[in-house]
A and B are shown apart, each in its own frame.
Chain A
Amino acid sequence: MSDGTARGGTARGGAARGGTARGGAAPVRAMSRPVLVGGAVAGCAAGAALLTPQAFGTWQTVAVSLCLQAVPFLLLGTLLSAAVAVFLPPSFFRRALPRRPALAVPAAGASGLLLPGCECASVPVASALIRQGVPQSAAFTFLLAAPAVNPVVLVSTAVAFPDTPEMVAARLLASLGAAILMGWLWLFRGRERWLTARPAPSCAAAAGGGAAVRLEAFRQAFLHDFLHAGGYLVAGAMAAATFQVAVDRAVLDTVSASVWAAVLLLAGLAILLSVCSEADAFVAASMTAFPATAQLAFMVVGPMVDVKLIALQSGTFGRSFAVRFGAATAVVAVGWASAVGWWLL
């Protein structure tokens, strides 16, 4: 009896799976993602609420701070992204970037030097670049490089480490190098099918329209991108706030292990705490018990991979991309930062 039911169940499961292989895949994913995000958020909130009222209060302050700090940059990024999508002809980037993607990657990395943006702004812009036909590898290099090596970040690093000016050079080299390596890695190993999120509606339709059509398309694209990314930002901020409340930083100063352990510890901390890239140099400098290479790893990993960014990226590019790309970026960034730190610091 159990045999029959089991086989029936398997057969049904198999049929269902077969059925979803093409047409049904998108609805299933569309269903599961909000459920997953909602579950994570509920988990974070419940975990924080179980703590003392003081801890819950701190959780709220940190979560609201992260959102408030990010909102202007997210608005800027989504405005830029919508403008790029609706008003710039695709040929613009084809002419501006080197034709071969392998060369476009370092060019995109270098362009990150010029744009003072926060990581929250670079995610929607990178997504718009891809929609406009920029090679994915170049867009992802820009995504990683722009928040990590822009002038504001480099200056704040110099201010935070007044006694070790070589830290600025090390940060620039390590961040730019890791971003370019990731671009090349995507070029040779990346798979388009990992990018699952759908583009914002109506941009393509507006391409040939008049001014009124384009303006309306711009409004819709901007609102869609901002609200979508904003929702993921809140989820990411809540997760980061949970880790901030959970991690007792007093423990960190008692850890006096090997350099490798220190590097991995601070890299992991950078991922969990999600400190904004303009401020992370000050946080790194305050962790005086750690070797300089570990502080460098904290500053290189943080702007490229953290809880808040993974949430934003899974909203914009899809979960299967965000997980793979985040893991690979963390490994490349830690390895490259260690090499640069060993050489320069």
Chain B
Amino acid sequence: MRATTRTLLLLLAGSALLHTTVLTDLYLRYVKPGLQPLLVASAVLLLAAGTLSAVRDGFPFLSRGAGRPGPADGRAPAVALLLFVPVLLLLFAPPAPLGVYSATRAAPQEVPDQSPSAFLPLPEADPLPLSLTQFTARVTRDSTGAVAGRNVRLHGFTVPGDDGADYLARHVVTCCAADARTLRVVLHGARGLVPGRWVEVEGRWRPEGVPGTSSAGVGLDVSRVRTVPAPAQPYLDVPPAGR
């Protein structure tokens, strides 16, 4: 890789990071929100390094003598060309957030990490907004069965199951999308759902198994489905906002 190509790569990489973190919220599709300051700092560093390189080593096609073989120092190893792949993807064709494909292939039901003693009485609201984490925890960990009979409202995207059932799903991310875990709730009696569409669902827990144990089925008898826009933070599992 020539020194001038190196300049181009550094400037493009810095712009891509700036584009995904400051100009748009694209980074939330890939990493946790807390990484933003570090990504912005990286963008600034890369742009500074790129500008310095443009001054010292020149810019492709523009600089006089750009093609001349410089000192061995200025040449980057050829493997660095691979960096153009994620950089150009982020700039011109940012990949979509994780969705239906990974949700159908995740483990069927993953109990969220929550201590069984941490359950307070449920608020009186009707319908009661809950995150999928809260709903799953209430069903499989809360032995008082407080969620039974309550009309709840959940927010997620719809996923067709292998068994013909429909699911409401969310991905939860700790660090980046590579460590995503999936929460799924069975939607009983919902018709005409479009896979991958973000919805708010109202309904009651379908009593299956013993509440507070892993035998309890995480499912909802659906009374109402409303299509909503996709959230800005796709991996942040929070209760739906009140209307």
Contacts and interface: CB of A to CB of B under 8 A. Distances in A.
B131 interface: no
A240 B174 contact: no
A33 to B, nearest CB: 8
B39 A223 contact: no
Contact of A250 (B30, B98, B106, B175): B106
Contact of A223 (B31, B53, B175): B53
B106 A161 contact: no
Interface residues on A, range: 35 or more
Q: Is chain B's interface secondary structure helix, strand, loop, or mixed overall? A: helix
Contacts of A276: 175-176, 178-179
A224 interface: yes
A142 B115 CA distance: 35
Q: Is chain A's interface secondary structure helix, strand, loop, or mixed overall? A: helix
Interface stretch (A54-62, A87-95, A98-106, A331-339): A54-62
Contact of A235 (B29, B79, B106, B177): B79
Nearest to B74: A220
B145 interface: no
Contacts of A63: 86
B124 interface: no
Interface stretch (A20-28, A131-139, A169-177, A281-289): A281-289
B97 A61 contact: yes
Interface string B50-82: 001100000000000000000011101111111
Interface stretch (B88-96, B146-154, B201-209, B222-230): B88-96
Interface stretch (A69-77, A256-264, A317-325): A69-77
Contact of B113 (A161, A240, A241): A161
B177 to A, nearest CB: 4
B181 A283 contact: yes
B110 interface: yes
B108 interface: yes
Contacts, number: 174
Contact of A202 (B49, B73, B90): B73
B143 interface: no
A58 B178 CA distance: 10
Interface residues on B, range: 35 or more
A248 to B, nearest CB: 5
A195 interface: no
B157 to A, nearest CB: 13
A69 B121 CA distance: 38
Given A68-B31, A163-B115, A252 B107 contact: yes
Residue among B1, B53, B102 with most chain A CB within 10 A: B102
A52 to B, nearest CB: 8
Given A71-B42, A72-B35, A250-B105, A232 B79 contact: yes
A116 interface: no
A286 to B, nearest CB: 5
A72 B113 contact: no
Interface in A27-86: 33-34, 37, 41, 52, 54-55, 57-58, 60-69, 71-72, 75
A250 B31 CA distance: 24
Contacts of A249: 105-107
B16 to A, nearest CB: 9
A228 interface: yes
Contacts of B108: 250, 253
Interface in A128-182: 156, 159-163
A227 B83 contact: yes
B79 to A, nearest CB: 3
Contacts of A162: 113-115
A55 B101 contact: yes
Contacts of A248: 105
Contacts of A241: 178
A303 interface: no
Nearest to A283: B179
B18 interface: no
A199 to B, nearest CB: 13
Interface in A230-268: 230-232, 234-235, 237-238, 240-241, 244, 248-250, 252-253
Given A65-B31, A66-B176, A156-B174, A37 B107 contact: no
The 6 closest A-B pairs by CB, nearest first: A231-B79, A279-B175, A227-B80, A69-B176, A65-B177, A60-B95
22 contacts: A54-B101, A58-B102, A64-B90, A68-B20, A68-B90, A72-B38, A160-B113, A222-B49, A227-B1, A227-B6, A227-B83, A250-B105, A253-B107, A253-B108, A274-B178, A275-B179, A276-B178, A278-B175, A282-B179, A283-B179, A286-B110, A288-B111
Given A162-B113, A283-B179, 5 more contacts: A58-B99, A61-B98, A230-B80, A235-B79, A279-B175
Interface of B: 1, 6, 9-10, 17, 20, 27, 29-31, 35, 38-39, 41-42, 45-46, 49, 52-53, 72-74, 76-83, 85-86, 89-90, 94-102, 105-108, 110-111, 113-115, 174-179, 181
